[in-house]
Amino acid sequence: MELIVKPDRVKAGLLGAKIIAQVVRERADAVLGLATGSTPLSLYAELVRMHCEEGLSFKNVVTFNLDEYVGLDPSHPGSFHAVMEKHLFQHLDLRPGATHLPDGCAADIPGSCEAYERSIKAAGGIDLQLLGIGGDGHLAFNEPGSSLSSRTRIKTLTGETLRANSAPFGDLDKVPKHVITMGLGTIMEARSCLLLAFGTDKAEAIHEMAEGAVSASCPGSILQFHQKAIVLLDEEAASRLQRKQYYLDVYAGKPEWQCWE
């Protein structure tokens, strides 16, 4: 796991966009795993800028999102379909049908979860999976206690996650309690992972994820087993790291050919 600490979330978001842009430039038909939440929004805005001002093309890129609410119409502003359309998809030159999210309105949920796994495989697997993390260490909607080898499936949200995601629904009671999420096993098959975390609310989860024991109690800690996981933090999210100075030294001394900036 490579931990990179930037002075603030703006600089971290810009670097995250550079990392994704490099993947797309190296492989025009890259398969990107995408995430929702507030954390990746500045990164998405920078990708849109790179597309509009620098000609970064996504016309052969394929995307798979991590998760979606069960029973929420894709047109609902709180649905991850709507969020992705608003902040990213409508601004890029992605082909129709190139973007995929779990189908929260499927009549046969287990069948549609299996189909989602099959379409990731049929696309050749995910080149880079973008991730955020919950304050309790959850990845996508894999809440604490999730199987470390889980696949795409239905999950029930914890009270903490319901509260954290309530803003677009106005009322806590209106937040769907069930979701479909890629599993931890699904995420671990991505060829690289890029996790972003900002703010003091994430500091403990980041410490547990990177420096604690690998445990289903902190689902993010499974990334300690990933061969290529990059964790991009602002100073606040890095504030509980015990080896912070070491991570800063590693980044400052990186050979030029490994750098993105």
Catalytically annotated residue among 127, 136, 208, 234: 136
Residue 38 vs 149, nearer CB to ligand GLP? 38
> Which structure tokens are listed for 44?
């998405």
* Minimum CB distance to ligand GLP, residue 181 (Å): 7
Quick note: the x/- pattern for ligand GLP over 109-138, rule CB under 6 A, is -----------------------xxx----
Catalytically annotated residue among 67, 103, 127, 234: 67
Q: Which helix (H) or strand (E) holds 43?
A: helix 41-54
* Residue 53 phi, psi dihedral angles, 5° rounding: -100, -25
Residue 13 vs 50, nearer CB to ligand GLP? 13
Q: Is 178 a catalytic residue?
A: no
Burial (CB count within 10 angstroms: exposed 0-12, middle 13-18, buried 19+), residue 27 = middle
* Sheet-wide strand order for 192-197: 2-6, 229-234, 192-197, 128-131, 31-34, 62-65, 99-100
* Minimum CB distance to ligand GLP, residue 195 (Å): 8
From residue 38, give the alpha-carbon distance in Å to each of 107, 142, 176: 30, 17, 18
Within positions 31 to 90, which residues make up the interface with ligand GLP, using CB under 6 A?
A: 35-39, 66-67
Residue 51 vs 155, nearer CB to ligand GLP? 155
Among 20, 31, 83, 140, binds ligand GLP (CB under 6 A): 140
Please, what sign has the CA dihedral across residues 80, 72, 99, 131? Answer: positive
Please, what sign has the CA dihedral across residues 159, 163, 164, 168? Answer: positive
Task: Note whether 186 binds ligand GLP by CB under 6 A.
Answer: no
Catalytically annotated residue among 51, 138, 207, 226: 138
Residue 33 vs 56, nearer CB to ligand GLP? 33
* Minimum CB distance to ligand GLP, residue 39 (Å): 3
**CB 261: neighbour CB atoms within 10 A?**
8
- Of 113, 88, 117, the residue nearest 103 (C-alpha): 113
From residue 94, give the alpha-carbon distance in Å to each of 31, 59, 62, 67: 12, 5, 8, 20
Q: Is 211 a catalytic residue?
A: no
Q: Is 108 a catalytic residue?
A: no
User: DSSP state, 1?
Assistant: -
Residue 27 vs 177, nearer CB to ligand GLP? 177
Catalytically annotated residue among 68, 103, 127, 143: 143
Burial (CB count within 10 angstroms: exposed 0-12, middle 13-18, buried 19+), residue 259 = exposed
* Minimum CB distance to ligand GLP, residue 134 (Å): 5
- For ligand GLP, how many residues bind (rule: CB under 6 A)? 14
Q: Is 29 a catalytic residue?
A: no
- List residues with catalytic annotation: 67, 136, 138, 143
Instruction: Name the site residues for ligand GLP (rule: CB under 6 A).
Output: 35-39, 66-67, 132-134, 140-141, 161, 165
